Amino acid sequence: MGVLGLGRMGAALAGALLGAGHDVSVWNRSPLKAGPLLDRGARLAATPSEAAAADVVISCLSTYESQQPVLDAASLRGRTLVNLTSGTPEQARGAAKWAASEGVDYVDGVIMAVPQGIGTPGARILYSGSETAFAARRDVLEVLGEPVFLGEDAGMAALYDLALLGMMWSAMGGYLHALALVGSEGVTPAEFTPMALDWLSSVGGFLAGIGAQVASGDYETDVSALDINAAGLAMLVETSRAQGIGTEVPATLRALFDRAVAAGHGAHAIASVIEEIR
């Protein structure tokens, strides 16, 4: 196994492979970062090409821009490249096109875990690209975390990654706004968070129904119409301003919901907002 890049994540990937008994060659621009891995049996490659002597090469560098010169120098023809560098779907598709022109089997992946979780049952890594290469190397990929294959479009893993992270960032932004709001009256995070967790669990139960409405295009509802929710967002913005905290988080949603109401979706379900997002 060859690993290109020994940042926190790259080092965690190499460490998991070593822990599973694989022979691992590592390369990094700064060789000093390899010290702990060398103590565990890894071999330090002097060049990317030396690390790429393995049948499977994992790349986990900071950006696609910094990665490409490394890949160009690695002499990967006839090998499998598992690219775990974060990027956009178009960057992943561009890398897959480059790999095909170079005779390289290409699998793109995104890591849905922190470095400390790599190699544990809770880690999950999404993959797309060559299904043949993925299937042939699945035993190796399982060492790193639960492998989930999303199809032969190399950009699909990155698309899922950004979609899921968008949900995470939105939830965290909403939580931080909530902490600021209740904190304006002296409520501590420790007091508020248990209720927030219960509430988010309930909200998660709505997603399947919302998804079904989006898939069908039928936004009729007898539960909670969009105009009621838009009015609630207006109250949240007003209350936030009155309590002396920022309104950026709810104001953005309020503007989106108000647009959807103006477009004729006031009596429809919240799912109808996707028409404005689209």
Torsion angle of C-alpha atoms 51, 57, 58, 61, degrees rounded to 10? 50
pLDDT at 33: 87
Pull the structure tokens for residue 214. 């989006």
Asked if 22 and 61 sit in the same domain, the reply is: yes
pLDDT value at residue 227: 97
Are 169 and 273 in a shared domain?
yes
Residue 252, helix vs strand vs coil:
helix
What's at 215, amino acid-wise?
Answer: A
- Same domain? 144 vs 7: yes
Residue finishing a domain among 135, 153, 171 = 153
Do 169 and 114 lie in one domain? The reply is no
Q: Is the same domain home to 225 and 140?
A: no
Choosing from 107, 122, 153, the residue where a domain stops is 153
Q: What is the pLDDT of residue 5?
A: 95
Residues 158 and 107: beta-carbon distance below 8 Å: no
Beta strands (DSSP E) in the chain are 2-4, 25-27, 43-44, 56-59, 80-83, 105-111, 124-129, 146-149
Q: What is the pLDDT of residue 240?
A: 98
Q: Are residues 147 and 204 in the same domain?
A: no
Residues of the chain with pLDDT below 50 are none
- CATH number of the domain residue 220 falls in: 1.10.1040.10
For the beta carbon of residue 22, count every other beta carbon within 10 angstroms: 16
- pLDDT for 65: 94
- pLDDT tens, 108-125? 999 999 999 999 989 999
- CA angle, 211 as apex, 205 and 215 as ends, to 5°? 160
Q: Which amino acid is at 241?
A: R
Residue 121 dihedral angles phi and psi, to the nearest 5°: -60, -25
**Radius of gyration over alpha carbons of the chain, in Å?**
23
Give the model confidence (pLDDT) of 121-179 as tens digits. Answer: 899 999 999 999 999 999 999 999 999 999 999 999 999 999 999 999 999 999 999 99
Residue 31: its pLDDT value, please? Answer: 87
CATH number at 98 reads 3.40.50.720
Which domain does 49 fall in, by range?
2-153
Check whether residue 123 and residue 203 sit in a common domain.
Answer: no
Phi and psi at 24, nearest 5°, equal: -130, 125
pLDDT confidence of residue 258: 98
**CA angle in degrees (0–180, nearest 5) for 224-230-233:** 115
